[in-house]
Structure 1
Amino acid sequence: MRKLFLFFISLFSFFVFAQELTIVYTGNTFASLYPCGEYLQGGITRRATILKELREKERNIVVIEAGGFSAGSFFDEFSLNEDLDKKRTVFYLKALKKLDYDVIGLAEADFALGEEFLKKIIRKSSLDFVSTNLRLKGTHPFLIRKVDKIKIGILCLVYTSSFNWERTEKILKRYLHLLERKKVNFVILLSNLRDDLNVQIAKQFGKKINLIISTGFGIHKIFFKKIDGVIVAKPTYQGKSIRMIKFKFDREGKIIDSKFKEIKLSYEIAEDKKIKRIIPACFSDKDCYLLLKKPAKCKNKATLKAFCEEKFFKVEVITDKKCSFCTPQITEEFLKKFYSGWNFSYLDYKEKRAKVLIKKYKIKTLPAFIFPSDIEKEIFFPRISTFFKKREDKYLLKEEISGINIFLERGFIKKRIDLFFHLTDKNLLPLLKMIKKISQEKGYSLYLHFILKDKEKEFIQEETERLIAIKFLYPSKFFSYFFKRLENINSSWWVNLIEEEGMSLERIKKFIENKKVKDYLEKEKKLRKELGINRGIAILVNNCALFQLINPSYSDLEKLLEYAKKLERGKNG
C-alpha cells in the first residue's frame, strides 16, 4: 500500500513540474496589414483569428514580434511615402497591442523612418520593446516573463551601420550573466544580426541561450535548425504565416522536446472583425487590387473611413456593326480573364468619331481595340503588356490578339476567294468541296494557300510540296488528286494516285527540287504574316474581309460573300 501511495506522489509531482511552453513569433512584417504575395497570404486580421485560437488552446504561450515591424524600409514592398508609411506603422502597432503581443524586438529596418519617429512611437505605445545593445528611451535592455513555473528572459541585438561585434559580445555576456543571476531558466535572443553571427552566438553561448529568433538577412534559407542545442528560427516575410515552437520541460525544468509548426495565413482563415475595425481598409490602389483582385481606387486612404471603389476603363472598339460574322466579343471575353473592369464601347467604322480615330492612330484592320494609356499604371498591366502597341496617347491591341476581320487599306479585288489551311485541319475536305462549288456557281476565283508549321512533320512537308508541284504542272488534275488524297492524308498510297491520274512522278520530283517550290513557300509565309494568319481554316474574300471558318453551311458562305461585296472601296463610306 505504501509503494502505491509513493507512486501516486511521484506521478503527481511529474504532472506538476512537467510543463509545456509555446513560443509564437512573427518578424520582418514591415507593417504588412493586408494579405499579399502571389497567393494572398498573411494579413493582420487573419493573424488575429489564429492567435485567438492558439490562446484558447495552449496553456502557456508567449507571442513575440521579433523586429522589423516598421514600414518604409528597402524591404517594404508596400512603401508609398514617408507620411503614409508612418501612419501604417502606427496602425500596425495598435493592432499588435490589441493582439496582446508580449514582446516587440527592434531591427535595423525599424529606423527607416528616422530615429526620432521610432522613439516617438515607442514612447506613445504601451507595448514592451526590447533592445539590448542599442539603448533607446522607452525600450528595455531585457525582459523577463514568467509563464507558470517557467522564467523566460528575452534579449534583442540590433544591427546598425556602427555595429561592432566585440562591443556587442561584451554586452551580451553581461546580460546573459544577469539573467542567470535572476534564475531565468529559458532565454530567447531576438537577433537582427547576420546568419553567420547567429551561428557563432549559438556555438559560443549554447549553454545560456535556448532560442534565437533571427530577423537578419543572409544566405541561409532554412527557417528552423538546431546548432549545438540552440534552436535558430526565422519568421516569415510580411507575416504571411505564423510560426511557433512548442517546448516540453521535465520536472527539473530542462527541455526534453521541441516541435516546430507553421500556420499559413491563407484565404480560408476568417478575418477578425474587431481588428478589422481598427485598421484602414486600404492605403493605396494596390491594396484594393489585392483585396478585390481587380483594379480599384482607394478612397479616404490611410483613415478608418477608407474604402475601395472598383475602377473601370473605357475601351473603344471600332468594327463593322453590320457584320454578323465579325466576332470582337470573343476578344472581349478573352480580355476579361485578366481584368473584369473593361467598359467596352462599340463604334461603327463609318461613324465620324471612328474615322477620326482610324486616321489618328493609323488603324489598318478591324476590329480595333483602343485603350486609355493610364492602364500602364495598374498592377495587372505587366501581365498583359505584350498584348498592346503604344500609339501616341493610347494603347492599341495587337492584331494577333484582336483578330482581323476587315483590312482597311488592302486593295479590293472583286470576286476573289483565298483559302488558308493546314492539311490536317478538321473537316477540310467537305469544306473545300463546298467552297470550290460556291466559287464556280458565283463566278469567284479560288486561290489555295497551304499553312506549314515551323517544325512541320516530314510527311506533311513532303505532301505539301507535291501538291504545289501538281498545282503548277497539272492544274486540271489538281483537285481530283487533292480530294482523293484528303480522304486519307496519313496513308502512303500517293504514288498510286499519281499514276492513276496519269501524272509523271519524275517530273513532279524534279519540280520539287527546283527553287520555285521553296520560293513559293517563302512567299506564302510572308503573306500569312502580313495577314496575321497563323492557323486555318481562314478565308479572305475580295482581298479585304478575313474570317475563321468553323463548320459553315453553304448558306453561311453565301451570306459571307454577299457581305464582302459591300466592302468595295468607294462603297464603305
Structure 2
Amino acid sequence: MKKIFLFLLFCLCLVSCSFAYNGSLDIIYTGETHAMIYPCSCPIEPDGGIARRATLVKELRSKNPDSLLLDSGGFFGGGLMDTYTQNTQLDKERTLINLKAIELMQYDAVAVGDDELNFGLEFFQDAAKKFKINLVSSNMHSDNVKAYSIKEIQGLRVGIIGVTTLQAAPKAPGVNFTEPLTALKETVGALKKEKADIIILLSHIDENDAIEIVKDIPEINIVVVGHSRIKEDVLSRVGSTLIVRPAWQGRRLGKLNLTIKENKIVDYKSEEIRLSSGISDSPEVFKFLPKCFADSNCKKEGLVGTCQNPGSADSQCLFSQPNKISFSVIEPKDCTTCNSSPFIEAMKKQFPGLDVTYIKYPDPKSEKLIKEFDIKGLPVYLFAKDIENEKGFDRLSKNMELKGDLYLVKPEFSGFSYFLGRKKNKGKFDLFISLYDNNAFGILDAVRDFIPSLHFLVYDKEGKLDAAKGKAEVEESLRSVCVQKYYPKYFWDYLSCRARDINSTWWDACLKEGAQSDKIKQCALGQEGAELLKENIKLNKDLGVMFGPTFLIDDQEIFGMSGVPTKDELKKILGK
C-alpha cells in the first residue's frame, strides 16, 4: 500500500511539473487604430492598413504559435480622433470592414474604448453580436462584453483584462460603468482565484491613471496603453510592470517578446514592425476590402486618383493626368549635409504634377526671396498659389504659410539643414545628445576623435531645468558638466562609462582615480552646477534644438542621424 501511495505521489509530481511553462511568448498588440483600413496618406512612410496587418500577424504566428494578439481599444471609426472621417454612413461602413478584419485575424481580446460608442449604443451592441470578437472591459457592464478572459498556453494561464474610460458613459445611456480602480481590484482578485500566472491589462484610460493603478495593483504584469499616452517610448516599466504603447493608427505592429521560466517572466524585449509596402496584402482581407473610401486611397505614381462609389463593393479608382504645379526649392550651393530629395519625393506622391525649379543660394533671386519672406534656414520650399485647387491641399494647408502669391512650407514640417544669418566658423563641430539615448555609447565612441563641443538635451523651463527622462537626466547632466570643469581630461571617459550603463546609480564608479566624487556632488547640487549646465545648453535654446542626436557643423549645417555613424562617414561630412 505504501508503495502504491508513493507511486501515485510521484505521478502527481510529474503532472504538476509538466504544467510549468518554459519558453517564449509573443504579445502582438495594436491600439488607437480608428478603423484605418488602408495605408495612411502620409508623405513619408505611408504605412499601415488591415490587409498588410493580417499578413504580418499570420507570419508572426507561424514563427511562434504561442502568441497573443491584443488591442487596447479605439478601433471604431468616427469621432475626433479619426483623421479619415467622412460622414456617419461611410464611417460606419469603414468600421464594419475593420471589425470583419479583426474577426478574421482572430484577436484573442480587444478592449472597449469610448470610440467604440461613436455611433451609439445600439450600433455597438449590434456589432458585438454580429462579429466573433472577444470584447473585454472590467468596468463597462454590457451584453457581449466580458470583464476578463483567460488564455491557456501549454499550462501557462494568461489573464487579459480590459478597462474603459468613464468618458464612454455619456455615449451609452443605461449601461452601468464602475470606477476603474475598484473594478480592476475585483477583477484581478478573480483572476488570481482562477490561478492566472500572468495578467495583462488592455487599458483604455489615461496613461497617468493606468500608471497609478498598477502602483496600487502590482499583480498586473503588462499594460497595453490606449486612449492617451504620455511618452513616445514603445516600452517602459513601472516597478515590475511592463508598459507598452501601440503605434498610432496601426501603422506599426507592436511585439513584446517574453521569456518565461516556471510560469514567470524572466526577460523581455520589444519592437515595432513597420506595416510598409514591403508587406503584401492578405488575400483573405482583400476579398472584402473595398477598393477605396476616398480619393486619398487611390494612388498611382504620376497620376491623380478619384474614388467612385466609395465604400461599396463596386468602388473603383479612376486615374487622370495631373495639373502642373510650380514648386520652387531654395537651397545653398555649398552644403555637405543638405538633401532636399526626400521631401521633394514625398510632395510628388501627394501632388504628381509637381514641376520643380531649383534656386541656389546665394544669388540675387534667392537673396530677394529670403529677405522678403524673412527666411532663417534652408532648404525652403515654395508652392505656387494655384496649389489651392489641388485635392491634397486641405490636408497640408496647416503646414503652409501664404506669402504674397506663393505658399511657403513651414520649416517645422519640412525641416532644414542650413542656418542663415550665422557666421561660418570653419572646423567647429557641436553634438547635442542625451546620455539616455540607446546609441549614446556608440555615438560618443564614433565622434570622440573629432572633439566636438557637447551639449546635453536639457531645457530651462521658467527657471527650472528639465529633460525627457526627467530628474535623473538633469542630475546626470549636472554631474557631467561638473566633471568637465574640474577634471576635463577625464570627461570623455566619464561620459562613455555612464552611457554604457546609464541606469546604474553608481555614477562615481565612472570617475578616474584622483577625481573627488564629493567635489562633483557639491558642484552638481549647488548653483555652480546649474550655471554650468545653463551655459552648456544655451546653444540648444538659440537654435531650437530639443531632440538628438543632432550635429552642427561650422555653426551653419545641422542634421540628425539614426543609429551610430561610422568614423569614415564623419570624416567625409566634416571634410577631415
TM-score (norm 1): 0.54
Letter in 2 for 1:259: K
Matching residue within 118, 135, 154 for 1:148 = 154
Q: Quote the residue 1:353 is aligned against.
A: none
Q: Which residue of 2 aligns with 1:18?
A: 22
Name the amino acid aligned to 1:82. T
Match of residue 56, structure 1, among 44, 62, 80? 62
The question of whether the paired residues in 1 share the 8 Å contact of 2:322 and 2:352 is answered with: no
**Could you tell me how far 1:53 is from its partner in structure 2?**
1.0
- The residue number in structure 2 matching 1:354 is none
Of the candidates 188, 192, 197, which is equivalent to residue 209 of structure 2?
A: 197
Residues 195, 220 of structure 1: 8 Å contact kept: no
Q: Give, in whole Å, the separation in 2 of the partners of 1:261 and 1:247.
A: 12
Which residue of structure 1 aligns with residue 92 of structure 2?
A: 86
Q: Distance in 1 between matches of 2:178 and 2:109?
A: 26
> 2:257 aligned with 1:242, yes or no?
no
Give CA deviations for 1:32-66 in whole Å, capped at 9, x if unaligned. 11111331011111111211111110031111122
User: Out of 82, 92, 101, which is 1:95 matched to?
Assistant: 101
The change in CA–CA distance for 1:342 and 1:90 in structure 2 (over 3 A counts) is same
Q: How many Å apart are 1:86 and its aligned residue? A: 0.4
**Contact conserved, 1:313 with 1:372, CA < 8 A, in 2?**
no
Partner of 1:167: 179
Per the alignment, residue 270 of structure 1 pairs with: 280
CA, structure 1 residues 204+342, in 2 after alignment: closer, same or farther (shift >3 Å)?
closer
Identify if the C-alpha distance between structure 1 residues 226 and 154 changes in structure 2 by more than 3 Å, giving closer, same or farther.
Answer: same
Task: Give yes or no for the alignment of 1:258 onto 2:264.
Answer: no
Corresponding residue number in structure 2 for 1:302: 311
Q: Give distance in 2, aligned partners of 1:264 and 1:296.
A: 25
What secondary structure does 2:157 align onto?
strand
Q: Secondary structure at the match of 1:189?
A: strand
Contact map agreement 2:35 2:95 (CA 8 A) in 1: yes
Equivalent residue number for residue 280 of structure 1: 290
1:315 Cα deviation from its structure 2 partner: 6.7
Secondary structure of residue in 2 paired with 1:113 = coil
Q: Counterparts of 2:67 and 2:168 in 1: how far apart (Å)?
A: 35
In structure 2, C-alpha distance between the alignment counterparts of 1:19 and 1:72, rounded to whole Å = 41
- Counterpart position of 1:375: 390
SS of the residue aligned with 1:259? strand
What are the Cα deviations for residues 404-449 of structure 1, in whole angstroms up to 9, with x where unaligned?
Answer: xxxxxxxxxxxxxxxxxxxxxxxxxxxxxxxxxxxxxxxxxxxxxx
| Matching residue of 1:75 | 81
Amino acid at match of 1:167: E
Q: 1:293 to 1:286 in 2, by over 3 A?
A: farther
- Secondary structure at 2:249's aligned position in 1? helix
Aligned to 1:462: none
Q: How many residues align?
A: 344
What residue ranges of structure 2 are gaps of 5+ in the alignment? 1-12, 170-175, 327-343, 356-383, 408-419, 424-576
Q: How far 1:311 moved relative to its partner?
A: 3.6
- Residue deviations 1:107-143, cap 9 Å, x none? 1122222222111111111111111101222111111
1:173-572 matches, cutoff 5 A: 173-206=185-218, 208-251=219-262, 253-289=263-299, 294-312=303-321, 339-340=351-352, 374-375=389-390, 378=393, 382=397
Aligned residues of 1:73 and 1:109 also touching (Cα < 8 A): yes
- How far off is 1:69 after superposition? 0.3
1:47–1:265 Cα contact (<8 Å) kept? yes
1:23/1:64 contact within 8 Å kept: yes
Rounded Cα–Cα distance in structure 2 between residues aligned with 1:384 and 1:257: 43
Aligned partner (choices 33, 36, 39) of residue 32 of structure 1: 36
Give the C-alpha shift of residue 31 in structure 1: 0.6
1:155 Cα deviation after fit: 1.0
Equivalence for 2:163: 157
Distance 1:295 1:77 in 2: 21
Decide whether aligned partners of structure 1 residues 376 and 265 sit closer, same or farther in structure 2, where only a CA change above 3 A counts. closer
1:282 touches 1:298 (CA, 8 Å); kept in 2? yes
The one-letter amino acid of 1:150's match is L
Question: Retained in 2: the 8 A contact 1:31–1:71?
Answer: yes
* Structure 1 residues 272 and 293, CA gap change in structure 2 (3 angstroms): farther
Q: What displacement does 1:284 show?
A: 0.5
Counterpart Cα distance in 2 of 1:285 and 1:22: 37
RMSD: 3.7
Amino acid of the structure 1 residue aligned with 2:198: F
Distance 1:160 1:298 in 2: 38
The structural deviation recorded for 1:383 is: 9.9
CA deviation string 1:215-273 (max 9, x = no partner): 0314333331111101111111100111111212223x222112212211122222222
Report % sequence identity.
Answer: 26
Secondary structure in structure 2 of the residue aligned to 1:170: helix
Measured at CA, do residues 191 and 386 of structure 1 come closer, stay the same or move farther in structure 2, by a change above 3 Å? closer
CA-CA distance at 1:374 after TM superposition: 3.9
Contact 1:103 1:128 in 2 (8 A): yes
Q: Is contact 2:139-2:164 (8 Å) kept?
A: yes
- Which of 114, 121, 138 is equivalent to 1:115? 121
Q: CA offset at residue 166 of structure 1?
A: 8.2
8 A Cα contact 1:84 1:302, kept in partner: yes
SS at match of 1:161: helix
Partners of 2:34 and 2:136 in 1: CA distance: 17
SS in 2 for 1:139: coil
Does the C-alpha gap of structure 1 residues 110 and 272 become closer, same or farther in structure 2, counting only changes over 3 Å? same
TM-score by length of 2: 0.53
Q: 2:483 — aligned with what?
A: none
Contact 1:315 1:372 in 2 (8 A): no
1:341–1:179 Cα change, 3 Å: same
Note the alpha carbon deviations across 1:346-392, whole angstroms, 9 max, x for none. Answer: xxxxxxxxxxxxxxxxxxxxxxx9969743665687499879988xx
2:74 & 2:325 partners in 1: Cα distance? 47
> Which whole-Å deviations, capped at 9, do the CAs of 1:166-201 have from their partners, x for residues lacking one?
833222111111111111111111111112211111
Cα distance per residue 1:538-560 (max 9 Å; x no partner): xxxxxxxxxxxxxxxxxxxxxxx
Range with bigger deviation, 78-87 or 185-194:
185-194
Asked if the contact 1:311–1:341 (Cα under 8 Å) also holds between the matched residues in 2, the reply is no
Read off the aligned partner of 1:157 and give its amino acid letter. V
